Amino acid sequence: MLSLGWTMRDRGYVDSWDIILLKNINDNVIAFVSVLGNCHLFLKAGFPRAPLKNGIGRVIVQLQRATFKFCKFNGASSGVREFLESDLLDFANNNPGIVVYVKPRRHHSPSITAEYLNGERQVISLHNFTRDEVNKWVKFLRTQSGHPFIRFRKMWHTDNPSIQGPWTPFTNKSPELNGVEFPQEVLSRPLNLPRSATEQLQELFRHQQAAGLNKNQVT
């Protein structure tokens, strides 16, 4: 008789591979099978997006509620207890828009449940996590949009695509530049370089000369 057991999964982090151990009735390992992580092939495809154009005017944190569940005595919850004692108050003061619940659960594995404005929920197991690891996961959940994970088709997206394609430094440039030999003194100058005082005086002198010539022609 064979039994199937999962190993080599790093405490809530999704690894790129797993190992399945095959055991007999005496709990002796007789074989193992390595499964490559192709789970991204089954993800829904899409483009990068922000909920309701968040971040264009101001940024609204999408995390609405965070619920910590832990045991007061179990050693697997020691990291969560240290976080609650040392860092939770600062987190609540820095994020007044996030409601924080702390629920002691006797003999239960610690976890954090994140609820977002769009109704999505994420549950992260904090079993045997250290205080720093809990801090990292809390910051990770706070910066999420709440949308489910997707596989990006492209790393950029626009609502109004151009028939000319994406912008490049050569877009709307004169075709005469194709025959220019570089280095070229005029084209090598920076475009945003401010004019010197000498150049401003020379331009003012040319304007005065032009105004004088126009006045003489009128008279």
Same domain as 122, residue 54: yes
What CATH number is given to the structural domain containing 115?
Answer: 3.40.30.10
Same domain as 130, residue 80: yes
* Domain carrying residue 7: 3-42
Q: Domain end: 103, 122, 151, which one?
A: 151
Q: What is the pLDDT of residues 61-73, one digit of tens each?
A: 999 999 999 999 9
Confidence category of residue 124, pLDDT binned at 50, 70, 90: very high
Same domain as 52, residue 38: no
Mean pLDDT of 118-145: 92
Q: Is residue 100 part of a domain?
A: yes
Q: What is the pLDDT of residue 172?
A: 82
Q: Is residue 174 part of a domain?
A: no
Same domain as 26, residue 85: no
Confidence category of residue 145, pLDDT binned at 50, 70, 90: confident
Same domain as 87, residue 115: yes
Q: Higher-confidence residue: 113 or 165? A: 113
Same domain as 84, residue 19: no
Q: Domain end: 104, 119, 151, which one?
A: 151
| Average pLDDT of the residues of the chain | 79
Same domain as 69, residue 141: yes
Confidence category of residue 133, pLDDT binned at 50, 70, 90: very high
Give whole-number Cα distances, 34 to 1, 11, 92, 134, 149, in Å. 20, 19, 43, 29, 25
Q: Is residue 19 part of a domain?
A: yes
Give the percent of the chain with pLDDT over 70: 79
Q: Reply yes or no on whether the pLDDT at 33 is more than 70.
A: no
Mean pLDDT of 22-42: 49
Q: Domain end: 102, 122, 151, which one?
A: 151
Q: Higher-confidence residue: 7 or 84? A: 84
Q: What is the pLDDT of residue 150?
A: 83
Q: Is residue 77 part of a domain?
A: yes
Q: What is the pLDDT of residues 102-112, one digit of tens each?
A: 999 998 999 99
